[in-house]
Amino acid sequence: AGPDWLTGGMFGPESSIVVIVSTTVAAVLLLYVARRRRAFLEPAA
């Protein structure tokens, strides 16, 4: 019950703007933390 952009419409809640924004924010935050902790590995030669 609500607009498609907010509820995800026929695709369900995983396609809503709320989930897209929160997932993007979480991914950026995790990348930031990993970079600060130098948790990335160098590629094998």
Under 8 Å between Cβ of 40 and 34: yes
The string of pLDDT tens digits covering residues 12-40 is: 888 899 999 999 999 999 999 999 998 88
pLDDT at position 27 is: 98
- Work out the burial of residue 1: count CB atoms within 10 Å of its CB; fewer than 13 is exposed, 13-18 middle, 19 or more buried: exposed
- Specify the pLDDT at position 1: 81
* pLDDT at residue 38, rounded to an integer: 87
Is pTM beyond 0.75? Reply is no
Domain limits of the chain?
Answer: 4-36
